[in-house]
Amino acid sequence: MQKVRKAVIPAAGFGTRFLPFTKAVPKEMLPLVDIPTIEYIVREAIESGIEEVLIIINKEKECIRTHFGHNVVLEEFLASKNKTKELEIIKELPNKIKVEFTYQEEQLGLGHAVLCAYEFAKGEPFALLLGDDVYVGNKMPATKQLIAAYNQTASSILGTLEVPDSDVSKYGICKPLPNEKGTLLKLESVVEKPKLEEAPSNLAIGGRYILTPAIFDYLKTQTRGAGGEIQLTDAILRLMEKEAVYSLAIDGRRYDIGSKKGFLEATVDFALKRADLYADMRDIINERK
Ligand code: G1P
């Protein structure tokens, strides 16, 4: 069985839900305190044992590339001022992992974005992490949980969360085979953004996947689906005719950074987790009660 060593992070969307901020700055650079959200995603991949990361961007988003590379001028400046702590902060990640980039020329949908990773995957299974979903795993990072399930099944794994009826139409929804029980379930089908009355369950795909390279065969020929977009979920449904696909309930807290409420919740929680900010954030909250 091939190991999961690679991760793909699509980051080429327009971020229309966060306008006007996203007019000039990619939504992936929205900070949770002082770290861009996409850095949390890359760190989750590293902590899950991933060795190579590909970020899919567009021409307007070069600052994401800048963020993950060495900034020699800044490094020399900080060194000359003896700002060792700051120097460590900016050098740590580029020293730890080499992040590669590719461009999605047209925004044709998530399935189309993932197809841009074809060359990078080179026939290997890979983790797919969507930037809107930031996880704090209970015992281990979300992607590590999925890799463990892949190691057990040698199959594609869709990380899931349970959503209320009011939200099923916002997600890809899984239908497990009858009699499947527990947290790891073999799937019968998946459907992208169904109406409530057509939703087969409340198990929503939560922005984390392990995909076998066979997915590319289906992405190459995938026609447009929900919202007129080339949907990854539709290609996964076709993949199921050839290979088993499983869902795994992710054990952890998920923040939907794509929504303003999720972004604000994450900002508060991440500040509360920081020793240098805990007291200040508590004061801010208490003063407003
Ligand atoms: C995408 C996927 C969807 C998944 C969701 C998770 O949708 O297409 O299946 O449930 O991410 O966040 P989007 O939110 O990009 O519309």
For residues 260-280, average pLDDT:
97
For residues 209-237, average pLDDT:
97
Find the largest Cα–Cα distance for the chain.
Answer: 65
Ligand 1 within 6 A of CB of 205: yes
Q: What is the pLDDT of residues 133-144, one digit of tens each?
A: 999 999 999 999
For residues 84-113, average pLDDT:
95
Q: Kindly state whether residues 82 and 211 are assigned to the same domain.
A: yes
Q: Kindly state whether residues 111 and 249 are assigned to the same domain.
A: yes
171 lies in a domain? no
Residue of 14, 37, 108, 110 with the most ligand 1 atoms within 8 Å of its CB, for mutation: 110
Closest to 32 (Cα-Cα) out of 143, 110, 135, 170: 135
Residue 289: the pLDDT is 86
Residue of 135, 174, 205 with the most ligand 1 atoms within 8 Å of its CB, for mutation: 205
Structural contact between residues 207 and 133, judged by C-beta atoms closer than 8 angstroms:
yes
Close Cβ partners of 256 (under 8 Å, ≥ 6 residues apart): 132, 133, 262
Q: Kindly state whether residues 10 and 117 are assigned to the same domain.
A: yes
182 lies in a domain? no
CA–CA dist 228, 213 (Å, integer): 25
CA–CA dist 124, 141 (Å, integer): 21
Query: Which amino acid appears at position 221 of this protein?
Result: T
Range(s) of the domain holding residue 283: 259-289
CA–CA dist 65, 76 (Å, integer): 20
Residue 204 CA to ligand 1 centre (angstroms): 9
The CATH number of residue 98's host domain is: 3.90.550.10
Ligand 1 within 6 A of CB of 236: no
pTM above 0.95, yes or no: yes
Residue 46: the pLDDT is 97
Q: Kindly state whether residues 277 and 137 are assigned to the same domain.
A: no
Ligand 1 within 6 A of CB of 256: no
76 lies in a domain? yes
Q: Kindly state whether residues 251 and 263 are assigned to the same domain.
A: no
Structural contact between residues 175 and 186, judged by C-beta atoms closer than 8 angstroms:
no
Q: Kindly state whether residues 278 and 152 are assigned to the same domain.
A: no
What percent of the chain clears pLDDT 90, i.e. is strictly above it? 98
Ligand 1 within 6 A of CB of 171: yes
Structural contact between residues 190 and 205, judged by C-beta atoms closer than 8 angstroms:
yes
Ligand 1 within 6 A of CB of 9: no
Residue 114: the pLDDT is 98
Indicate the number of domains in the chain. Answer: 2
pLDDT at 14 exceeding the cut of 90: no
